[in-house]
Amino acid sequence: MFAPRLLDFQKTKYARFMNHRVPAHKRYQPTEYEHAANCATHALWIIPSILGSSNLYFLSDDDWEAISAWIYGLGLCGLFVVSTVFHTISWKKSHLRTVEHCLHMSDRMVIYFFIAASYAPWLNLRELGPWASHMRWLVWIMASVGTVYVFFFHERYKLVELLCYVIMGFFPALVVLSMPNTEGIWELVTGGVFYCLGMVFFKSDGRIPFAHAIWHLFVAFGAGTHYYAIWRFKCKKGVSGPGPVSVPLPKCSQATSNQVSNKKFIFMEMSDPSKHFGSTVCPLEATGAQVLCLSRGHVFG
């Protein structure tokens, strides 16, 4: 349906790399070549996803960012791990029908949670409107509904299943695109384009050789693009420092008791004034942008 007839390779020399298509209610059986490709194309990204997720966690500045990094990392790593385990069992231990069936269901379920986890940094760490803020929990309800659907209707209505993935992928994106902070939006859109292009191959088993493995690659490219957007945002945030306050730093001199008592100061919480400014505690008007560092006893101004 999604792949045009001109992409049908059944009558070409590449037909030996794939089996014939199956009816919509049945599962496609890959060839040995396709089994190997299905395993490799997601196993390759397990270690990078673990390292990348750990990197985001260590870049976190507070508990909320750390939680978002954990959620995103678990979704990212879980996708590649579950997919690799399922395809390996399906290839080498296909006689374990019950185990294979459960893993296949898990492979489909984890996609919903991966989509929800992918939006966690965007929805949790950026400013949202009063209505848009509901998407933070609504996306997890959608993931739960998708999981229940897979449990009861696995492999019965494949087109409905695909539409569920598409709706869940695009619905939260509408909220993200409406955010005042548009940084990283182009990377988010580019990642979405990778996923959409990959869907052409997701439902082309038996028509295009290695179709499912190609789908895996598009998923990896999309996930990598989204990761880059989050990582880039975190790094730039770390360089520029949190908070909207921007005060030039003149020479620092030790504050005496007379200086402190005779001047007006902007009191700010900070551990190292040479790196960044934290939140303003008492926004008093100061002459010459004089700043008192409570932790160091330094006066700037």
Residue 246 in any domain: the answer is: no
Query: Does one domain contain both 209 and 292?
Result: no
Q: Is the pLDDT of residue 1 over 70?
A: no
| Long-range contacts (CB closer than 8 Å, 24 or more residues apart) made by 181-185 | 181/126, 181/127, 183/233, 183/236, 184/122, 184/229, 184/230, 184/232, 184/233
Token pair of 91 as six digits? 């290839």
Query: Does one domain contain both 89 and 155?
Result: yes
- Quickly state the pLDDT bin for 49 (edges 50, 70, 90): very high
- Quickly state the pLDDT bin for 25 (edges 50, 70, 90): low
The reply, when asked if residue 87 is annotated as ligand binding, is yes
Residue 177 in any domain: the answer is: yes
The reply, when asked if residue 216 is annotated as ligand binding, is yes
Degrees to nearest 5, angle at CA 198 with 193 and 204: 150
Residue 105 in any domain: the answer is: yes
Query: Does one domain contain both 289 and 179?
Result: no
Domain CATH for 27: 1.20.1070
Query: Does one domain contain both 186 and 271?
Result: no
How many Cα atoms occupy the beta-carbon half-sphere of 52 within 13 Å? 22
Give the mean pLDDT of 15-41.
78
Residue 150 in any domain: the answer is: yes
- Given 204, 219, 240, the domain boundary residue is 240
Q: pTM score, two decimals?
A: 0.72
The reply, when asked if residue 95 is annotated as ligand binding, is no
Helices assigned H by DSSP within the chain: 32-43, 46-58, 63-92, 97-125, 135-153, 158-177, 185-202, 211-240, 257-262
Query: Does one domain contain both 189 and 293?
Result: no
Cβ neighbors of 124 (< 8 A, separation 6 or more) are 64, 67, 68, 71, 136
pLDDT digits (tens, 9 = 90+) for 176-231: 888 888 888 899 999 999 999 998 898 888 788 889 999 999 999 999 999 999 99
Q: What is the pLDDT of residue 159?
A: 85
- Quickly state the pLDDT bin for 252 (edges 50, 70, 90): very low
* Cα distance between residue 172 and residue 223, in whole Å: 16
Query: Does one domain contain both 97 and 188?
Result: yes
Query: Does one domain contain both 129 and 209?
Result: yes
Residue 282 in any domain: the answer is: yes
Residue 129 in any domain: the answer is: yes
Tallying the residues shown for the chain, one arrives at 301
Token pair of 6 as six digits? 């001109």
| Long-range contacts (CB closer than 8 Å, 24 or more residues apart) made by 192-198 | 192/222, 193/222, 194/218, 194/219, 194/221, 194/222, 194/225, 195/169, 195/219, 195/222, 198/222
Query: Does one domain contain both 230 and 265?
Result: no
Query: Does one domain contain both 89 and 229?
Result: yes
Residue 120 in any domain: the answer is: yes
* Cα distance between residue 42 and residue 28, in whole Å: 19
Query: Does one domain contain both 257 and 218?
Result: no
Query: Does one domain contain both 221 and 278?
Result: no
The count of structural domains within the chain is 2
Give the mean pLDDT of 64-69.
92
Residue 222 in any domain: the answer is: yes
Structural domain boundaries, residue 212: 5-240
